[in-house]
Structure 1
Amino acid sequence: MRTDVLLPTLGCWVHDDQGRVGMALEVRAEGERSLVHFRYGARDLVWIEAKALRSAFAPGMQVEHVPSSPVARSLGLGEVRATRVLAGCEQVLVQFLEQGTCRWLPYQTLRRVKPVEDRLLRGEVGTFPDHAERFRLRVLAHALEIWDRNTGALGRLDIDPLPHQIRLAHKVLTSGNPNWLIADDVGLGKTIEVGLILHGLARRNRARRVLIVCPAPLVRQWQDEMRLKFGQHYEIYGRDFQVPEPSYWRLHDKVIVSLDLAKRDKVRGDLCAAGGWDVVIFDEAHRLGRDDNGECTQRHRLAQELRRQTPAMLLLTATPHQGKTPRFAALLKLVRPELRRAFSTLEANPEIVAEVVLRNRKTRVTDAAGKPLFHGHETHRIAVEPGPASLAFMDELTRYLRHGYAVGERAGDRGRAIGFMMTTYRKLASSSIAAITTALLGRWQRLQAAQRANAAPDLETLIEASEATPDGLADQPDLFAGAAFFEGEAAQILRLLRLAEPIWPHDEKLRVFIDQIAAPVFRSGRKLLVFTEYRATQTYLREALLRALPEAGEAVLINGTMSLDEKLASIERFTADAAFLISTEAGGEGLNLQERCHVMANYDLPWNPSRLVQRIGRLYRYGQKHRVIVFNLHTQDSFDAKALGLMLDRVQVMARDLAAVGAEFREAMEAEILGELLESIEIEPILERAMRTRPELGAAEIDRALEEARQARSLQDELLSFATGFDGSSSSATFGIDRRHVAAFLGAMLPRIGARNVEPVHQGRALSFELPDELVGVFPELGRRRSVTIALDRDLARHHREMLPVDLDGSLFRHLLDTAKARAFDGLYAAARAGRIPAWVAVHHLRWQNERGELLEDELVASCCEAGGESGRPLSPEELGSLLLMPLESATPTASAPRMEVDTALRQAFETTVARVTTWHRQPASAFLLAAAEAGSEGAP
């Protein structure tokens, strides 16, 4: 056969030089000639030379691409948009229906196909007796692919997203504007939401270069989360790499940087000179606000300049408002600068918040079955009365601190560093005798050695060191070097160390912790999570627990010095057999411990009350099967401890009172309000000012701070009530599809490829089957296995390594989907038994784009109408999802049906549905009728 002529594929639409139009049926070679068997009438057949044929394709025809190479993959179905002749080659412009893209192709590689509309008008169900079931499987295959494309639900992400996470990510990806402020409550998975958004943007080629800016303690957490859950490698600027000149930025596309490093002039300039970012993300974005005078801070300036470098910015914060509307408005302007005027009148026009802010609340989110995820937690106060030795030590420490503060107030810039050190010592003293004495001993040793005797502490260095190693302040050398703060400091520190000696063997706080918390929890058969701010306290507690409860075995640790793998190993030991896990906040951020533990103890109370919310969030999150119990140790040995205890007691009473007013889930509402109040209270300035005041004056300040927090919460709730939220009542983001549909699809398709003994196992969470001989070794992920079990959720696959997780990128699942979607599988039109479906159903595949023509999402839009065909209506995602779950039984098409009227009604219903949700940022790009069905007669097909 000649190879210099591109031969028409079978089914190609052609005409000859006599104007006869028809279809190529067969191609053969006769000597130097290539002949085409050509049908141009109902029965007229003729052999014609290939070079005598021309394209007969015209705009509006539906075609299928048939690649000339047997190993190439088809581009699928499409619609002809135009034709042309270029350099003697006849070409056809085809818009491919599923991809939405257009390509000029040689006409010979296309074959004409009959549109689904034609089959509806003629009632043609095809040659397969099970056409109704093929219709269901065809639509289900497309639905599963679209579900994954929009959510990552079936990809190689190591997560099982919750409904609210899927819907929030879907909103961002499909809104047409990827700039949002995400204000979810703590513990609802903002990191997972961001990962899903980035995954979706990457699939649309809009997330090649990503910059994540976050507080220093969170940079490792973000890096670990992106690697562990999403398989993405991010580099930390300043740790993993440096940029000596701008040209080096092309080597770094996925970057994480700490906020306070990024705000420096040089680093800010480097980031802005990187050549533009596809996406910029700010975590803890409330730190970007302008100052109280409305002046632009370094952090805010950084965000402003990066906003000009990116088409997509996401701000993440659980407390975006904090009772300060101007600062909140400044955040909104960062996200959507084009709405500046509207944000300037925010209190008069609060509804604008819905255009910018997405917010999920713990009291409203549900699991996939629609059950509430959170039901509240209970907190118990454990009082500790200090002994004489502890009181003597604290009295002497108070004199030392007041002396240091007094010197600091007179020493200018050096004094600010001294004040910072005094505050650090106070925080360490609030934690444990181990933390404060470790720090004081380090300070005394350096003073004795007279190292850098003339050096003045540098405040920026101190702050950076404290942010980089927040749980290691007690043994951080950089914090304790430098000249004496005042005359006689070394001698006073030595007195403190001697006063501390008798406390160690008789530490009242430690004794109460072991006797009233650790021992009872252990003996009840439960596990205990202990939180402290500092590693010195952590080590102290572990050694004490080993002495007091040797039968409990090892107490495992998590802290900021550990890698992600080391932290996960600690969690595995805790889950398996360890009774105690002691974690610092720097170590525990982002790690979820709810599976085997519901009891926690705060050995120390942080000065930042919002950290208590973060601590509780390690257990009080999705997957917790028990009521979370929290113990707070309150030591009455200093004003700081008394003030923190007083603050916590009063805020709990306030939360209880506020939750009692009309809350449907009172305990969950109380926990939500408690978290909001704690996040709004600024107690650190009160503690810093209180060194010279009487405790009762500090108490008055705390009361004022609580009232301000209550008012701030009220104002925040008022404004954020307009934010877009996602409860458990809608499945529009998932098309009514969930993992039940995956099981239904696999269970029906596996026998069609010859698999035997297909059975659900593990309470329906997995499917087992045997492959036929001809398919053993065909699918790489299965190796040579004949007996296979597919896990339908990732958690099951993680615990059973021999199971194959559901993976749309895997060759077996891909083969099943391609089989069901193929034209040869049919299912394009069907008649099903009456009662299982409405009289008539049409399912369209719709693609959305933004005003720049960039892809937003795919969607299945189902319409239906009754027997007369007078009018149609949209079929809800829930109705379509229900229809696709159960097998369909074939029937006979209705003989005398008003098919033209039905076709018109279904098309109008589809167009009305699409027009109703079309916006400036969200335009239809392409649509085609994927499949249709009717409720046939009861007779056998």
Structure 2
Amino acid sequence: MTEFAIGQRWLSETETELGLGIVVNLDYRLVTLFYPACEEERTYAKTNAPLSRMAFTPGDTIHTQDGQRLIVHEAVEVEQLLIYRAAPEDDPGALRQVPESQLGYQVELSAVTDRLFSKQLDSTNWFNLRVAALNARAQAENSPVRGLRGPRIDLIGHQLWIAHEVGGRYAPRVLLADEVGLGKTIEAGLILHQQLVTHRAQRVLIVVPQPLVHQWFVEMVRRFNLHFSIFDRERLAALQPEESIKDMLARLIVEEQGDTPDERENPFMSEQLILCSTDFLESCDIDLLAAAEWDLLVVDEAHHLDWRPDAPSEAYQRVARLAAAARGLLLLTATPEQLGLESHFARLRLLDPDRFHSLEAFREEQQNYQAIAAIAAEMVDQAQWSATLKQALAQHVPDVPIEEAHREQILRELLDRSGTGRVLFRNTRKHIAGFPARHVHGVALPYPAMYGPIHFDPTHPDDLLHPESVFRDDTWCAEDPRVTWLADFLRRERGRKVLVICARKETATDLHAWCGYKLGMNVSVFHEDMDIISRDRAAAYFADEEDGAQALICSEIGSEGRNFQFAHDLVLLDLPRNPDLLEQRIGRLDRIGQREDIQIHVPHFAGHGQEVLFRWYDEGMHAFTRTNPAGTQILQGTADALAAALAAPQDSARVDALIAQTRQLTETLLAQLDAGRDRLLELSSHNPEQAEALISQLADADDTPPMGFMEMAFERFGVEVEEHSRHASILKPGPHMLEPFPSLPEEGITVTADRGTALSRDDIQFLTWEHPMVEGAIELVLGEDRGKASVALLKNPKVKPGTLLVEALYSVQCSAPRHLQAERFLPTTLLRSLIDAQGRDLSQAISHDGLSKQCHKMEKPLARKVIESQQSLLEKLLQTDQQRVNGRAQAIIDEARATMQTSQAAERNRLLQLQARNPAIRQEEIDFIDRQTEALAQHLAEARCQLAAVRVIVASQ
């Protein structure tokens, strides 16, 4: 039976954990199998498919799809398919016919004993490597920080907590709205990584502004080892070749006959991880893109999506189309409410249009949450609760005892049941440590005569702030005192990196030409007309500490997305009229990781609109020295007074009145935000205690790196290892390498298992248990037969020569679709036995590592003779031990099933209680819990304990 046929059952020799597969498709050179246990398909070349035909013989035990256990009496082949005549073990006369297509997908394998008794024996080193790989897989599935161990990041509490909280959800739909510099991109990357590693997501689409495409691509690779494919018009055109005349005629004939033509192939299904720009999104076929079955959609800079109740923008509608089709959604924005309540509602509406369906209802909700915010703040701040507070808490959380001892539980329930806590996360600098101080240095300069009389055009107010815009070349630089001041400043501070930002790209290019070519200064330029590669080169040149540019001159594009925290001086050659834009400019330096105080230099014209704007920011709202979440509301509240002051900058009374009005409005708005919704968000966006626990667990994971296992694998597979430095090694393919090693390029790579080294050296790979090379090495070892059976000599003077021992490793695991994450309840569990000739288990007396140190190589001819002479005893010992271990395994499986039922019931009840109080809880989440529980119960009931490796040990002198 060497030919494939539809309906046959085959077993993957390299992925036995998939269970029994069934042939579902054939062509002249390929065969496709579907594995029901994991709901996955595999396609193989017929000529070298790593498959074994599952054909049972009389006496074998089979399992049917309905769970019956039968003994085979006869096997008959009919049209290349097997039909078994089988009966229950306790009723041999009740024979029934069982086509192989009705076999269950779980199978009890005997590959290990087959190799042992057929004398396909490997060295003890291969056996030890296999055991190490089994342990590594089990430890990975048992890790409480699974999905967070691999990224190359600093261990920062609020980022880890948000990633852990959101990444563990089914199809998360949240708004990440931390202030500029708190690491939203890292939070999104951590969530993506965790969802992909734990198999909650497989297909991801990221949409970002065009200038940030390459930065996101690099960040995903460098920090998270996630390789996204960038889609643009050229890539799409390559995937959609023009229709040939032949194809067009065939399509027309089909349509004329009234038949439905075949659906066109979706080019967006060609990759699992796709990154594209908002520009591409606005021009592509949105129906095709939305139909590509996205598990997770990520949209950066979401505040750019313009929405009004009567006129949503085209960009917003396209994102809404994608958001409705995707299971999960992450929106990133630094300004959730600064653009106004309407804008904030528009973002939330993308997350859950059923929950956030009415702007008016949302306004009313926000008013009601003020009281809850006050209660939450009082509860956290008071060590002893007053009777009034307890009464108020009881009204909102009636099912929890209102006592100080239950403070954490009450707070969690209060946050869960109120506000937008489940869908909105916003941390601020005020409540997150690690930021430097900000200092502003205003430099008043005379207004140059070359610009002529000051003229304010109300229809173009920004023209007043950029008088150099009337020039078509850089000649204005010769007489503008701001340029003279900048050149003097750069000469005076030659050892410091300086970021220069101005509103217009023409201003940036003129400054670059003047300072670089006419003054001979080492400066670089960055603006929107440059392509992505050129921008990256400019940013890299600026970042180079030894030979790089002293200053980077940016247009406004430099204030979004890029991080320059290695610099400490910011020069604002002009000021924007939007406070949020100013904060984004400062945020390029004011970020976590900044090591020094930030010096903000603002050269401006005295007695000019520029001075009015500087004072408005500095004296009115202190925007240079602190963040201001109310910037947009302040702008709206002072717009008329600001325009009047800009039109008459010499009118000191008018300007002073503007400053006084701005100062009062700022204090009022900040007080309102601090007393209301922001405090509630602060409490629901960060849990310092849990964050510290995550940091501690990740630090422990760093203390047990994979280098020991990897060194064993490198030696076995022929990878050369050279020392690079104290914490780094160079890996290269060796001349005798057995086969290509996972993620090892031909030119080699440099790796480190030290987080500090990885963070300081982008060119060195961070080797963790979740690195693709390590995961690939584990799969490579376990996908082969080598190491399954071994014979070794034991040299220990305390053990009598000739003593026979058998070391057996058993794996308890559940074959289930990955998205169910059955390993949460039944992670791959290893059970070890060390039995002597009398069948006694000595595993508690000596560990695997301790035993391996005393085991030595036995020559293969002698090893084969040992197996041949002791086969009957070994068969008896292993059969008895399998029965004993099966009892231990069943107890583990039963406990896993009970834990699953308890955990799922608790989560379901929690969601039901929350749904009664908080409509943010979607019915979809509850329905998913029900489906998940039913599927998990079925798959856990079919978990099996299988022999994974065996070593026969003979004591010698």
TM-score range, shorter chain: 0.5 to 0.7
Tell me if structure 1 keeps the 8 A contact 2:577–2:613.
no
Partner of 1:775, secondary structure, is coil
Tell me if structure 2 keeps the 8 A contact 1:169–1:197.
yes
Tell me if structure 1 keeps the 8 A contact 2:441–2:599.
no
Q: Which residue matches 1:559?
A: 527
Point out where structure 2 has 5 or more consecutive residues left out of the alignment.
14-54, 71-93, 114-122, 244-260, 373-414, 649-653, 790-809, 830-846, 855-883, 908-925, 948-954
Partner of 2:493, secondary structure, is helix
The 1-side partners of 2:440 and 2:333 are apart by 28
Q: Which residue matches 1:89?
A: 100
Q: Which residue matches 1:606?
A: 576
After TM superposition, give the deviation of residue 807 of structure 1 in Å. 9.6
Q: Which residue matches 1:814?
A: 776
Q: 1:139 aligns with which of 135, 146, 153?
A: 135
The 1-side partners of 2:126 and 2:785 are apart by 15
After TM superposition, give the deviation of residue 381 of structure 1 in Å. 1.6
Q: Which residue matches 2:656?
A: 696
After TM superposition, give the deviation of residue 708 of structure 1 in Å. 5.3
| Residue 186, structure 1, aligned to residue 187, structure 2 | no
Identity %: 20
After TM superposition, give the deviation of residue 531 of structure 1 in Å. 1.7
Partner of 1:426, secondary structure, is helix
Q: Which residue matches 1:531?
A: 501
Amino acid at match of 2:527: N
| Residue 507, structure 1, aligned to residue 480, structure 2 | yes
Change (3 A) 1:774 1:224: closer
| Residue 731, structure 1, aligned to residue 791, structure 2 | no
Tell me if structure 2 keeps the 8 A contact 1:594–1:623.
yes
Point out where structure 1 has 5 or more consecutive residues left out of the alignment.
12-49, 64-82, 96-106, 115-126, 366-371, 406-418, 442-474, 476-499, 657-670, 828-841, 865-885, 893-897, 933-939
| Residue 284, structure 1, aligned to residue 301, structure 2 | yes
The 1-side partners of 2:485 and 2:97 are apart by 88
After TM superposition, give the deviation of residue 606 of structure 1 in Å. 1.8
| Residue 594, structure 1, aligned to residue 527, structure 2 | no
Tell me if structure 2 keeps the 8 A contact 1:134–1:826.
yes
After TM superposition, give the deviation of residue 330 of structure 1 in Å. 5.1
* Deviations 1:858-906 (CA, angstroms, capped at 9, x unpaired): 5487899xxxxxxxxxxxxxxxxxxxxx9965699xxxxx999998997
The 2-side partners of 1:556 and 1:791 are apart by 33
Partner of 1:606, secondary structure, is coil
Q: Which moved more, 1:901-910 or 1:686-695?
A: 901-910
Q: Which residue matches 1:316?
A: 332
Change (3 A) 1:307 1:703: same
Tell me if structure 2 keeps the 8 A contact 1:307–1:313.
yes
| Residue 379, structure 1, aligned to residue 390, structure 2 | no
| Residue 580, structure 1, aligned to residue 551, structure 2 | yes
Q: 1:741 aligns with which of 693, 704, 727?
A: 704
- Count of residues in Structure 1 that have an aligned counterpart in Structure 2: 688
Partner of 2:705, secondary structure, is helix
Partner of 1:749, secondary structure, is helix
Tell me if structure 2 keeps the 8 A contact 1:755–1:771.
yes
* Deviations 1:401-426 (CA, angstroms, capped at 9, x unpaired): 34xx3xxxxxxxxxxxxx2xx13413
Q: Which residue matches 1:790?
A: 751
Change (3 A) 1:84 1:733: farther
Q: Which residue matches 1:762?
A: 725
Change (3 A) 1:111 1:8: farther
After TM superposition, give the deviation of residue 579 of structure 1 in Å. 1.8
* Deviations 1:579-609 (CA, angstroms, capped at 9, x unpaired): 22212231463233334x3332222222222
Correspondence 1:372-771 to 2 at 5 A: 374-387=434-447, 389=449, 393=451, 396-398=453-455, 401-402=456-457, 405=458, 419=459, 422-429=460-467, 434=468, 436-438=469-471, 505-515=478-488, 517-522=489-494, 525-546=495-516, 550=520, 553-574=521-542, 575=544, 576-577=546-547, 578-587=549-558, 589-595=560-566, 597-652=567-622, 671=626, 674-678=627-631, 681-682=634-635, 685-686=639-640, 687-688=642-643, 690-692=645-647, 694-707=654-667, 709-711=669-671, 713-714=673-674, 715-725=676-686, 728-731=691-694, 738-746=701-709, 749-750=712-713, 753=716, 762-764=725-727, 766-767=728-729
Tell me if structure 2 keeps the 8 A contact 1:167–1:733.
no
Amino acid at match of 1:775: M
Change (3 A) 1:543 1:759: closer
Partner of 1:562, secondary structure, is coil
Correspondence 1:245-264 to 2 at 5 A: 250-252=266-268, 254=274, 256=276, 258=278, 262=282
Tell me if structure 1 keeps the 8 A contact 2:524–2:552.
yes
The 1-side partners of 2:342 and 2:589 are apart by 34
Amino acid at match of 2:599: I
Amino acid at match of 2:583: V
* Deviations 1:28-80 (CA, angstroms, capped at 9, x unpaired): xxxxxxxxxxxxxxxxxxxxxx98615413488999xxxxxxxxxxxxxxxxx
Change (3 A) 1:295 1:821: same
Amino acid at match of 1:94: Y
Tell me if structure 1 keeps the 8 A contact 2:152–2:759.
no
The 2-side partners of 1:508 and 1:583 are apart by 19
Q: Which moved more, 1:219-228 or 1:564-573?
A: 219-228
The 2-side partners of 1:84 and 1:355 are apart by 57
After TM superposition, give the deviation of residue 628 of structure 1 in Å. 3.5
Q: Which residue matches 1:53?
A: 58
Q: Which moved more, 1:565-574 or 1:232-241?
A: 232-241
Tell me if structure 2 keeps the 8 A contact 1:593–1:619.
yes
Tell me if structure 2 keeps the 8 A contact 1:780–1:811.
yes
Amino acid at match of 1:567: R
The 1-side partners of 2:324 and 2:764 are apart by 49
Change (3 A) 1:283 1:777: closer
The 2-side partners of 1:239 and 1:781 are apart by 25
After TM superposition, give the deviation of residue 709 of structure 1 in Å. 4.2
After TM superposition, give the deviation of residue 717 of structure 1 in Å. 1.1
The 2-side partners of 1:769 and 1:887 are apart by 29
The 1-side partners of 2:505 and 2:104 are apart by 67
After TM superposition, give the deviation of residue 326 of structure 1 in Å. 6.5
Correspondence 1:298-377 to 2 at 5 A: 298=313, 306-322=322-338, 328-329=344-345, 331-340=347-356, 345-346=365-366, 347-348=368-369, 351=416, 352=418, 353-361=420-428, 374-377=434-437
* Deviations 1:804-855 (CA, angstroms, capped at 9, x unpaired): 977978678623454368797689xxxxxxxxxxxxxx99878998xxx944
The 2-side partners of 1:330 and 1:680 are apart by 17
Amino acid at match of 1:335: L
After TM superposition, give the deviation of residue 138 of structure 1 in Å. 3.0
The 1-side partners of 2:306 and 2:702 are apart by 42
Amino acid at match of 1:791: T
The 2-side partners of 1:901 and 1:806 are apart by 35
The 2-side partners of 1:179 and 1:888 are apart by 46
The 2-side partners of 1:8 and 1:270 are apart by 41
Amino acid at match of 1:184: D
Change (3 A) 1:10 1:593: closer
The 2-side partners of 1:768 and 1:387 are apart by 60
| Residue 111, structure 1, aligned to residue 110, structure 2 | yes
Change (3 A) 1:225 1:806: closer
The 2-side partners of 1:235 and 1:249 are apart by 16
Correspondence 1:204-243 to 2 at 5 A: 204=199, 208=203, 210=205, 212=207, 230-236=226-232
The 1-side partners of 2:95 and 2:454 are apart by 89
